[in-house]
Structure 1
Amino acid sequence: MEKPTMKQRLASFGTFLYDSETKQVLGRSGRSWGEIGIFYVIYYACLAAFFAATLAVFNQTLDDDNPKLQGSSSLLKGNPGMGFQPMPDIDTTLIYSTKEGKDEYVKSIEKVLSDYKLANSDGVDCSQVKGIRQDADKPCRMNFTELTAGCNLGNSYGIMEGNPCVLLKLNRIYGWKPEIWTKAEIANEEDIAESIRNQYVEDRIWIDCHGENPADSDNLAKATTTYYPQQGFPLAFYPYTKQKGYMSPLVFVKFSGLAKHLAYMIECKALAKNIAVDRTEKEGSVHFELLID
């Protein structure tokens, strides 16, 4: 069979696009195109209606004020994790305190503190509240002056002094209430530092920052660890129930008198009955290294 020429191919394609004899377009008559057009209009209209009905039913199961998944069903499984700053590089947990690199570390902390610098008009003073506030409509206000008493922009958050500050924060979980130990119970908890047991007060989620290994603990014992504004997160900030203007409590930990050119592996834990500490899952604690140059 003789192979068609290019001219014949173009003519055949042109006839496929529009056949003047049969009045067909792309191989279909006007009636055929009308029928298939009506079919797809109805088909996609039904799909859109089904999708809209599904969204409407789903929206009926949601609450504007309460998340659908809470507690163990939520993403965080009702167990708050802890974060820290400075963290200018997400690929490492090393806090390298050096004057040359202070700008990046200061910027990392300032990014978190920027919202706290402004007075929270919706917040209330909770400094005299010692326990969990029930059904609180307004959030507690963070005392920025007390928070930055020893760690602030003026001293580059301790980096210029060689006494680095680390900012700690618990993840926010809707409706979560900390269950703290009583003073009698804490006395029997051998895993908690003796210094905390001696000064324990039932008004906060205490924080314990310590050396991760025996050698680190020995090295850190020669330095001084100071917490601002206090060693823990006040209970008055809990629970979080989407209060307007809510801001999670923060704690600065300042490490003073660290030896230079010596790496410290440090772990900070949040202490409460219902905070499970899991290093592999990064729950209830944070790990970082400190190196002073």
Structure 2
Amino acid sequence: MTPSTSAPRKKFSVPSSKQDELLSAQVAYFMHLEEAKLSKKDKIKRFFWNPKDQSIFGRSPSSWSKIGLFYLIFYGILAALVAICMWVFFQTLDPRIPKWRLERSIIGTNPGLGFRPMPLETNVESSLIWFQGSNKTNYMKWVNNLMGFLEKYYVPGKAEKGTATIKRCSFTQYPQENEVCDFDVRLWGPCSPDKYFEYHRNAPCIFLKLNRIYGWVPEYFNDTNNLPKEMPKQLVDHIRLNVSQHELNTVWISCEGENPADVEYLGPITYYPKIQGFPGYYYPYKNAEGYLSPLVAVQFLRPVAGIVINIECKAWAHNIKHKRTDKVGSVHFELLID
């Protein structure tokens, strides 16, 4: 009897992909167990530095180096593109000549009139100049306020230095292309710092300036027979009687009380320089280095104390329109002396 032969056993083999899955699951299971054993403090430490795989913040050093290199190249190219665009943009601009001028600009062609000293109150809308002539501590605040504005007129070194030549101009000697006009502070007479701008005598000096507009040229009222009807009589008489023919190219200045009562309370007014305006040789404004805007000092000789006096000052030229609501061509402020 022949022994029976049994069939060979088949070997059971797990596919390699299945083995990998099982191995991964096993590793993940034991890692989870290990993670569960860690305290919160240890987890935080291992996040910053894992000694097993030498990772920092969950990434290996090689991974961090690749990311760093990528962002270095990316932001470097971005910065270069921005720099090139800015360079091309600035090639189209002149640092001293605005691209949009006169009618094409936001400012337009109608300059505003400003005054100094500016009110000391924190309210930017305030236009009240209120002081006590008998109190030096009080009126010195206004004197110092004025000196802060006038410092570059009294100290030439404070003015911007440049290639332009500063010269003493006149109605017969206008500045040339690379010249700017000097300003003689002696023309302000008693409105000077050594006399405290007359605030201690209750006869304060207010300084007026015309806002700068690049390239703007005044159209002067230089015909004594063709002065506007609304021009104050005092200014009309001044132009006709006290101004010579070659001085007529001037932007005239006038100051008055706004109401009949204000006119009475304001009293007599004196202007410095005596020409009562901004001489034409300061125009047009070309944004030249060292340029100083012409100023007119207005002294109120005997204003009534204890009363708020409303004052309006105007600049006069054919191409200066007066619009109180838009604050162009004129300026309003109040004066109160205790």
Regarding TM over 0.5, the answer is yes
Matches for 1:41-120 after TM superposition, within 5 Å? 41-74=72-105, 76-90=107-121, 91=123, 92-99=126-133, 100=135, 101-118=138-155
| TM-score (structure 2 length as normaliser) | 0.75
CA contact (8 A) 1:168 1:251 kept: yes
| TM-score (structure 1 length as normaliser) | 0.85
Task: Give the SS at the match of 1:139.
Answer: strand
Paired with 2:305 and 2:40, the residues of 1 have a C-alpha distance of 82
1:179 pairs with 2:219:
yes
| AA matched with 1:105 | W
Paired with 1:268 and 1:35, the residues of 2 have a C-alpha distance of 70
* 1:66, distance to aligned residue in structure 2 (A): 1.6
Q: What's the counterpart of residue 259 of structure 1? A: 304
CA contact (8 A) 1:226 1:254 kept: yes
* 1:231, distance to aligned residue in structure 2 (A): 0.8
Structure 1: where are the runs of 5+ without partners?
none
Paired with 2:146 and 2:74, the residues of 1 have a C-alpha distance of 55
Matches for 1:101-250 after TM superposition, within 5 Å? 101-118=138-155, 122-129=165-172, 133=174, 135-147=176-188, 149-183=189-223, 186-187=226-227, 189-200=228-239, 202-220=248-266, 223-229=267-273, 230-250=275-295
Paired with 1:137 and 1:284, the residues of 2 have a C-alpha distance of 29
Task: Give the SS at the match of 2:98.
Answer: coil
CA gap 1:37/1:97 in 2 versus in 1, 3 angstroms = closer
Paired with 1:217 and 1:30, the residues of 2 have a C-alpha distance of 84
Instruction: Give a deviation string over 1:251-275, Cα, whole Å, max 9, x none.
Output: 1111122222222100111112322
Matched residue count: 285
* 1:237, distance to aligned residue in structure 2 (A): 0.6
* 1:31, distance to aligned residue in structure 2 (A): 3.4
CA gap 1:85/1:29 in 2 versus in 1, 3 angstroms = same
Q: Percent identity?
A: 37
* 1:207, distance to aligned residue in structure 2 (A): 0.8
Q: Which moved more, 1:80-89 or 1:15-24?
A: 15-24
CA contact (8 A) 2:129 2:333 kept: yes
| AA matched with 1:44 | Y
Q: What's the counterpart of residue 319 of structure 2? A: 274
Task: Give the SS at the match of 2:253.
Answer: strand
Higher Cα Rg, which structure: 2
User: Which structure has more RCO (C-alpha within 8 Å, separation ≥ 6)?
Assistant: 1
Paired with 2:234 and 2:306, the residues of 1 have a C-alpha distance of 28
1:285 pairs with 2:330:
yes
Structure 2: where are the runs of 5+ without partners?
1-32, 158-163
Paired with 2:73 and 2:116, the residues of 1 have a C-alpha distance of 56
Task: Give the SS at the match of 1:87.
Answer: coil
* 1:7, distance to aligned residue in structure 2 (A): 4.8
* 1:49, distance to aligned residue in structure 2 (A): 1.0
* 1:10, distance to aligned residue in structure 2 (A): 2.5
Paired with 2:199 and 2:333, the residues of 1 have a C-alpha distance of 16
| AA matched with 1:197 | V
| AA matched with 2:236 | R
* 1:48, distance to aligned residue in structure 2 (A): 0.5
* 1:88, distance to aligned residue in structure 2 (A): 4.9
Q: What's the counterpart of residue 30 of structure 1? A: 61
Paired with 2:54 and 2:299, the residues of 1 have a C-alpha distance of 85
| AA matched with 1:113 | L
CA contact (8 A) 1:226 1:253 kept: yes
CA contact (8 A) 1:138 1:244 kept: no
CA contact (8 A) 1:93 1:287 kept: yes
CA gap 1:161/1:31 in 2 versus in 1, 3 angstroms = closer
Task: Give the SS at the match of 2:328.
Answer: coil
* 1:22, distance to aligned residue in structure 2 (A): 3.3
CA gap 1:216/1:18 in 2 versus in 1, 3 angstroms = same
Paired with 2:53 and 2:193, the residues of 1 have a C-alpha distance of 83
